[in-house]
Amino acid sequence: MPMAIDPVCGMRIDTDDAVARADFEGTTYYFCSRACFEAFVADQGLYATGPETERLDAEELARRGFSTVEEVDRLVELGVVEPTDGEFTREDVMRVRVVGQLQAAGIELEALAAALRSGHLTLGYMQASARMHPRSSATFAELAEEMGVDFESLVRLYLAMGLPAPRPEERAPEEDRQALGGLAVLFEAGVEADDVVALARLWGDSVRKIAQYLPHYFHIAVEERYRCRGLADNQAYEEALRKVGLRIGRSGEDFLGWLFRRHTDLFSVAHQFEHVETALEQAGVRPRSPRGIEAAVFADVSGFTALTERSGDRAAADVALTLAEVAAEVAARHGGEVVEMLGDGVLLHVGDPSGAVMAALEIVAGAEARGLPPTHVGVEAGTMLYEGGDYFGRTVNLAARIASEAGPGQVLAGEGVAAHARSPGFRLTELRRFRLKGITGEVAIFEVTSSQEPVDAGGG
């Protein structure tokens, strides 16, 4: 089953499933949908062979469409597919498959036909969803053997990545076979299966969030512009795809790769620097830089629940996103990072406790400058456990509990900050000892106030 990559959207498709084909400068390109083909032709300004001219009879259409001749006849009767002189095209194959998928999801055929006739429903944008992923000659059981792992470990990898569990006798997609080669190297190197699964879970969780959010973003940020022009929902979606989605094409995948490389460069250099320090220490020529004390910063919007009730979910979400932007800008100034968005708040990790305290003050000022409701922040310093892209431990827990004690516009800090943070930019004033939920014993909490002129924390 030959595999091709649609040059517009980047989808991997079986060449036999291609709805259209174009010959350009000695190369044949295959397309998952007519829309991708038309975008390619418009962009290149070329004459191409166009949609496939292969003609199919009802029996062949049923075979390729995973249907029956009787069902095809019914689709013709309802006007869902329209033959020319009793013959069908590859686009009809995609339409038959799409209709089958929708019926399997519980949508009645007669309802689909009625919506198509009225013009409220178009199915052109679903052509790509009917494509078949090109399969390799190997089953998943054989793929596991190629990787040097048992089949159960392969299933664990797929589930960790958030993908459906494979069946041993099922033929593996060619793309899967190529992509999993990197993980096979880890197994060959003797890395434990649990550690490889942990890496797969981190990859899966990160990419899933992006993939899950993009359709939502496209719906509210792009399609809405066309709905506001008076287009019906399906027409607005198709217009948004043609004018924006297909012009973006594969850039999302390319952007993700570029961003990953940029981040990798930064963290790889830091990791290499640590190895240099270790070598110098072992050689007895220079001690390692002291490390181990870091800081966690929890920032929350005061009165967020009341805000949601009063102004609605959309307004509350905008506040949370703006706070995340403020936090990211502040973290970057102090060598920190936003670890997690927590609905109405954010968690930051900052390597230097003094920088963390200054960051907390700047978040409060930055939120006010952006017109947000007052924020309250908790900071604690100490050791932390880093695992799976997140930070854990008592220091993190304390920062969260301390934040819950802070009032609107207030920054509170724990005993670890008092012990390790020093700067002329802030003052620490001990309030009293508190009992915090889930924390053994009483802990001293300090109020943090600025002792210098505020910086421009509003992002300009």
Secondary structure of 297-338 in HEC code, one letter for each residue: EEEEECCHHHHHHHHCHHHHHHHHHHHHHHHHHHHHHCCEEE
Q: What is the CATH number of the domain that holds 403?
A: 3.30.70.1230
Residue 129's pLDDT band, with cuts at 50, 70 and 90, is low
152 belongs to a structural domain: yes
457 belongs to a structural domain: no
Q: Domain count for the chain, please give it.
A: 5
459 belongs to a structural domain: no
Average pLDDT, the chain: 84
User: Which of 15, 34, 51 marks a domain boundary?
Assistant: 51
Considering the domain architecture, whether residues 307 and 437 belong to the same structural domain is answered as: yes
d(CA 126, CA 42): 21
Per the CB < 8 A criterion, the answer to whether 395 and 294 are in contact is yes
The CA radius of gyration of the chain, in Å to the nearest whole number, is 29
For 193, the token pair is 């299966």
455 belongs to a structural domain: no
340 belongs to a structural domain: yes
Token pair 């399969």 is at which residue? Answer: 135
Output 115 or 267, whichever has higher pLDDT. 115
Per the CB < 8 A criterion, the answer to whether 341 and 326 are in contact is no
178 belongs to a structural domain: yes
Q: What is the pLDDT of residue 76?
A: 94
Considering the domain architecture, whether residues 42 and 166 belong to the same structural domain is answered as: no
Considering the domain architecture, whether residues 212 and 69 belong to the same structural domain is answered as: no
Q: What is the pLDDT of residue 291?
A: 64
Per the CB < 8 A criterion, the answer to whether 286 and 280 are in contact is yes
* Residue-wise pLDDT tens digits, 407-448: 999 999 999 999 988 888 898 999 888 888 878 888 888 999
Per the CB < 8 A criterion, the answer to whether 165 and 135 are in contact is no
For 65, the token pair is 């469409």
Considering the domain architecture, whether residues 36 and 64 belong to the same structural domain is answered as: no
DSSP string for 388-411: TTEEESHHHHHHHHHHHH--TT-E
Considering the domain architecture, whether residues 108 and 151 belong to the same structural domain is answered as: no
Cβ-based burial of 330 (10 A; exposed 0-12, middle 13-18, buried ≥19): buried
Picking from 331, 323, 363, the residue whose alpha carbon sits closest to that of residue 349 is 331
396 belongs to a structural domain: yes
Strands (E), 205-333: 294-301
For 88, the token pair is 């069908």
Task: Give the helix, strand, coil percentages of the chain, each rounded to 5.
Answer: 55, 20, 30
Considering the domain architecture, whether residues 199 and 338 belong to the same structural domain is answered as: no
Provide the domain limits for residue 24.
3-51
Q: What is the pLDDT of residue 168?
A: 94
* Residue-wise pLDDT tens digits, 318-375: 888 888 889 989 998 998 988 888 777 899 999 889 999 999 999 999 999 988 889 9
* Residue-wise pLDDT tens digits, 198-240: 899 989 988 888 888 888 889 999 999 999 999 988 889 888 8
Considering the domain architecture, whether residues 300 and 438 belong to the same structural domain is answered as: yes
Considering the domain architecture, whether residues 97 and 188 belong to the same structural domain is answered as: no
Pairing state between β 20-24 and 12-14? unpaired
Picking from 134, 127, 123, the residue whose alpha carbon sits closest to that of residue 93 is 127
User: Which of 289, 318, 340 marks a domain boundary?
Assistant: 289
Q: What is the pLDDT of residue 114?
A: 92
* Residue-wise pLDDT tens digits, 28-42: 888 877 777 777 776
Considering the domain architecture, whether residues 412 and 305 belong to the same structural domain is answered as: yes
Residue 113's pLDDT band, with cuts at 50, 70 and 90, is very high
Considering the domain architecture, whether residues 436 and 317 belong to the same structural domain is answered as: yes
Q: Could you give the percent of the chain with pLDDT greater than 70?
A: 91
CA distances for 421 relative to 348, 411, 417, angstroms:
16, 14, 5
| pTM, entire model | 0.66
303 belongs to a structural domain: yes
Considering the domain architecture, whether residues 126 and 77 belong to the same structural domain is answered as: yes
Picking from 156, 158, 185, the residue whose alpha carbon sits closest to that of residue 173 is 158
For 50, the token pair is 């166009």
Considering the domain architecture, whether residues 278 and 303 belong to the same structural domain is answered as: no
d(CA 198, CA 208): 15
User: Which of 97, 113, 130 marks a domain boundary?
Assistant: 130
Cβ-based burial of 374 (10 A; exposed 0-12, middle 13-18, buried ≥19): middle
